[in-house]
Amino acid sequence: MEKQFLIDDFKMGESWRLFKILGEFVEGVEALHDIGPAVSIFGSARIKPGEPEYKKAEEIASLFAKNNFAVITGGGGGIMEAANKGAAEAGGVSVGMNIVLPFEQKPNKYSNVNIEFNYFFIRKVMFVKYAQAYIIMPGGFGTLDEFFEAVTLIQTHRIKPLPVILVGTDYWSGLLEWIKSQLLAEKRISPEDFEILQLIDDPKQIVKTVKKIVLV
């Protein structure tokens, strides 16, 4: 396996690595340029089959696939596996964008479009470039990273506005309350920034909300 600390390892005289970076961009664009309307679904890799969050991710992805959306995930286990499974079993496009990590991340068997990345930042570009919505399910640092990056890109007008939907009132309400009571109250963000976020638990309502905005 290639050394894991790829950014730290980027030194003078290693400009050849730029060709590997370019190659990953090319591979991603070629694989995804014609998938049609899509949603990116994020969540913990540590959720097990049979857990409520796993079942809900599977249901959400299945509904999106039945409504002609491709489903994009990080390609690993847990919520990612559930979403890929739901999309694939509904006959939809199920994209798994796996990242090479020393632990935790292994490709799941349910994606029918598979891409493997060494660089997180390239993978992040693909998530946001081809998604008409971000669906954020319970997760850890990686999920929060994708969530806040999307919100920041929308806030700063670096990408066109897209629905950012948090799934799981019990899980996310504390974070939203902190954002409201601290960031918004202290004027670190504007009211319209807070309105980027939506909290929806019902799978059918999630799909309906995205369809209404995206107009598929």
| pLDDT tens digits, 132-172 | 999 999 999 999 999 999 999 999 999 989 999 999 999 99
Evaluate whether 167 touches 206 at the Cβ level (below 8 Å).
yes
**Cα 48 to the chain's mean position, in Å?**
18
Q: What is the mean pLDDT of the chain?
A: 91
Sheet holding 164-166, edge to edge: 113-117, 94-99, 70-73, 38-42, 133-136, 164-166, 197-199
* pLDDT band at residue 1 using 50, 70 and 90 as cut-offs: very low
Whether pLDDT at 12 is above 70: no
Q: Which amino acid, one-letter code, is at 95?
A: V
Unique residue bearing structure tokens 């920034």: 193
pTM recorded for the entire structure: 0.89
Evaluate whether the domain defined by 36-169+198-211 bears CATH number 3.40.50.80: no
- Please give the pLDDT value at position 16: 77
Is the four-CA dihedral 91, 135, 141, 151 of positive or negative sign? positive
Rg (CA), the chain: 17
Evaluate whether 123 touches 149 at the Cβ level (below 8 Å).
no
Evaluate whether 67 touches 87 at the Cβ level (below 8 Å).
no
Strand 197-199, strand 164-166: pairing: parallel
pLDDT in tens, 157-166: 999 899 999 9
Q: Is 199 helix (H, G, I), strand (E, B) or coil?
A: strand
Across the strands, what pairs with 73?
96
